[in-house]
Structures are given as C-alpha cells and as structure tokens.
Amino acid sequence: MMHLAESLNFCGRKVVAAWASVPFPALPGCSLADTLCAYQQDVPWKLLSSWREQKVTCCFAQSVVLRGIGRESSSQQPAKQPQSALHSCGRSEQVLQHYLHSMFPGAFSTAHVLQQPCSTLPPYPQFFSPLLTREGFLQDRPPSHPPAAVESVPVLAALQSSPVLQGLLRSLHRDLQKLNVRRWFSFFSAGVEQDNFQEALEELRTLSQCYETELGADESEDEADSD
C-alpha cells in the first residue's frame, strides 16, 4: 500500500485518499458501459475518510480496481451503432479507463477489472438492501418473496491523490494547533520535544499546500477570512 501511494504522488505529495463503492451499483444483465453511463455527473464511489462529503471534480493521479464485473468484449456484442463512447470500447479495462479519463482529464489513471467478486458468505454481516440479488446486483424493486442472503458483491476501490486532501490536512493541522501539548505529559515522557512537535506541524501545513489548486486557493482564503 505504501509503495502504491508513493507511485501516485509527486511534487511533494505523500498521502492518498481511499474511496470505495460497496457494492458497485450494477444492474443484472447490464454491461459496465451501461452502468457508468448513468454516472456522467458524479462518480459512483464515496470517500472513506471522515472528512466531509465532497464532489470530486479533479485529481492528480489515481488507481482504480473493480471486482465482480464481467470482462465483456465488443467482439461478443451484436454489430450495431455504439450507444456512447464507452460502448465503443472493447474490454472492461478500456471502458473503465475511458470513463476515468473523461471524468478526470489530465490525471494519471490506472484501471484494473477482475471477474471474481468479493465474497460475503458468513461470517460477513448481512446488512445489504433487499434490492440486492444473491450476486450483489441491484434490482428495480424488492422481490415478493424473502430475499436470499447476498453471497457476493461487485466492489470498486480507488486510491486518489486529490485536492480533497488539502482540506483534510488543513483541518488536521488546525485541530493539532489547538492542543496544548504542555498539558499532555505522555508526549514528553515518550521522547517528543516541543520543537519537534512544532516542526511536524509546519511539515503538515506544507504538505496540505502541495494539494492546492487555483480553486482550492480561493476556498482557503475564504476559510481564513471566516476564521
């Protein structure tokens, strides 16, 4: 994980944000292109951090892995006019890669698609919606009979070097600045020096600036004024 995070970072950046979609919102019988076409305005995965929910409009680099979606090929489909640019792609990796480039133009993106879904057999908790099939795909309406236990789900996970991290790191820096470490003797008994703590705070502030964009700079000024 550390090496993957390093490969996604440059220009002084060191951390990445984790995103996931559990389950990935796919309909039975629909291709990956069909599913992604429904998410042209916002990506179908959520930030796993406790930072406030945000719509991500750009990122610097990302690695995305999708499990449980078939590796369909355009050669297996009947010859007809493609419904969209996504439908004109061949393998699922190409569909996902094209989607990432359209949603995050200019970002370095890697995409991997694995056929095997994530198993949700016991002792995995059954907290899923009744709209899910046994294979973890979404239905339009719940079944008339009691739903069967979900045995597996398609899952998407992503690591992103993104401007979202600027706000998260700035928030962490502000919270740490409020601490009076002189009152926490365990810090100093563990060998932490006041100067070292202040140096770490400054490094955290500098790190947050590495994720700044022009839009982020304007928002930072607004936050400073409100403070």
Give yes or no for residue 170 having a pLDDT over 60.
yes
Of residues 51, 74, 47, 70, the one with CA closest to residue 59: 47
Secondary structure (H, E, C), 27-77: CCCCCHHHHHHCCCCCCCCEECCCCCCCCCCCCCEEEEEEECCCCCCHHHC
Q: Per-residue pLDDT averaged across 26-54, rounded?
A: 86
Q: What pLDDT score was predicted for residue 79?
A: 47
Residues 6+ apart with CB under 8 A from 188: 181, 194
Phi first, then psi, for residue 120 (nearest 5°) are -125, 30
Question: In the chain, what percentage of residues exceed pLDDT 70?
Answer: 85
Question: DSSP assignment, residue 138?
Answer: B
Cis amide leading into 123 (omega within 30) = yes
Give yes or no for residue 37 having a pLDDT over 60.
yes
Q: What pLDDT score was predicted for residue 69?
A: 87
Residues 6+ apart with CB under 8 A from 86: 32, 33, 36, 37, 95, 98, 99
Q: Per-residue pLDDT averaged across 3-29, rounded?
A: 92
Predicted TM-score (pTM) of the model is 0.81
**Exposure on the CB side of residue 150, measured as CA atoms within 13 A:** 23
Of residues 100, 3, 111, the one with CA closest to residue 59: 100
pLDDT confidence tier of residue 215, bands split at 50, 70 and 90: low
Of residues 116, 114, 154, 115, the one with CA closest to residue 134: 154
Question: In the chain, what percentage of residues exceed pLDDT 90?
Answer: 50
Query: What is the per-residue pLDDT across 130-159, written as a single tens digit (0 to 9) for each?
Result: 899 999 999 888 777 887 889 999 999 999
